[in-house]
Amino acid sequence: MSPRCDRARFEVEMVTILDRLYGAALRLAKNPADAEDLVAESVAKAWASLDSLEDPERFQGWIFRILTNTFIGECRKRGTVSLDKPAREEEDFSLFERLHQPMLLWWGNPEQEFLNKLLREDLRSALEGLPEVFRVVVVLSELEGFSYQEIADMLEIPIGTVRSRLARGRSLLQQAVWHHSEAGQVGAAKAGVGGDR
Amino acid sequence: MIDRPVINCETALQQLADYLNRELEPAEHDAVEQHVRLCHACFSRAEFERLLKERLTDLGREEAPARVQARIRKILGDGRWSQS
């Protein structure tokens, strides 16, 4: 059996993971002040319950679990947990299908052009606009690279729910990016693909 | 002999997200990979989703401000923790 995590190891793990933890917190909390509070509160909880981490090899999953549960708890406290779907939601929205033009195969690549012009801020805004229930799963999977099983364990939900929330989150995110571009905020990429279809 | 995809476009696209997230069983993963290699339309779609995923991953890359590091040092109770 692996030795329990001691203070020295906790410090080493924290140094290694702090930027990632803050990056996830920032995308969840959506502003630096709340992200700092979220990280500090999560680290304080982790430090106070260090004995509950039986296998130090699982430190990353353990600390991210504390972070996400702290975030969800805070949302519930504030009454801001949102399960609502945006008013304009379309099922299985695909940005690629909106952009792709087979006839342009040899003359251009509008979807690539769109991605090139897509600003980090546009994507950030789309991500932060997702309802919390989807944003948490997208952050853990797409930004942090956790497996579906690890996310299911962290959030204590079935793996099928992880998969469906991720699919819905991805669809909503692509839809938000598209609507953002319709408002003319993603450069002129769309102008080159003939507008909405 | 001409290599033919063992799965059709519909199946490949249904499994594309799990393929990119490396969540498929090895045989399923190989089938999607083979399809994407042979089908130009699905290759374009897979490339688009992969690049978008990369852009999304990039959103998680942040540097924790010194204030956060100071708060953690305080939580741990002394000045031994450093960000070397």
Distance of CA B53 to the CA centre of its chain: 6
Q: Name chain A contacts of B64, Cβ cutoff 8 Å.
A: 18-19, 21-22, 39
CB-CB: which of B23, B57, B71 is closest to A143? Answer: B57
Identify the residue with better confidence: A9 or B82.
A9
- Answer yes or no: do A115 and B48 touch at CB < 8 A: yes
Contact status, residue A150 vs residue A61, Cβ threshold 8 Å: yes
pTM of the model: 0.85
Q: What is the mean pLDDT of chain A?
A: 84
Token pair belonging to A3:
């030795």
Distance of CA A93 to the CA centre of its chain: 18
Mean pLDDT of A170-189: 77
Point out the least confidently predicted range of A12-21, A71-80, B47-56, B73-82: B73-82
Distance of CA A185 to the CA centre of its chain: 22
- Answer yes or no: do B76 and A7 touch at CB < 8 A: yes
Interface of B with A in 16-45 (CB under 8 A): 17-18, 21, 23, 41, 44-45
Contact status, residue A149 vs residue A159, Cβ threshold 8 Å: yes
Whether B9 contacts chain A with CB within 8 A: no
Which pLDDT does position B33 carry in this prediction?
95
Min Cα separation B73/chain A (Å): 9
Q: What parts of chain B have a pLDDT lower than 50?
A: 83-84
Tens of pLDDT along B24-36?
Answer: 999 999 999 999 9
- Answer yes or no: do B81 and A147 touch at CB < 8 A: no
Which pLDDT does position B6 carry in this prediction?
85
Tens of pLDDT along A90-145?
Answer: 668 888 888 876 665 556 678 888 888 888 888 999 999 999 999 999 999 999 99
Q: Which residues of B31-48 are buried (b: 16+ CB within 10 A; e: fewer)?
A: bbebbbeebeebebbbbb
pLDDT greater than 90 at residue A77:
no
Distance of CA A76 to the CA centre of its chain: 19
Residue A97: closest CA among chain B residues belongs to which residue?
B45
- Answer yes or no: do B55 and A18 touch at CB < 8 A: no
Tens of pLDDT along B59-70?
Answer: 989 999 999 999
Min Cα separation B72/chain A (Å): 6
Whether B70 contacts chain A with CB within 8 A: no
- Answer yes or no: do B82 and A27 touch at CB < 8 A: no
Contact status, residue A172 vs residue A134, Cβ threshold 8 Å: yes
Q: What is the DSSP string of B3-29?
A: ---SS-HHHHHHTHHHHHTT-S-HHHH
Which pLDDT does position A137 carry in this prediction?
97
Which pLDDT does position A67 carry in this prediction?
97
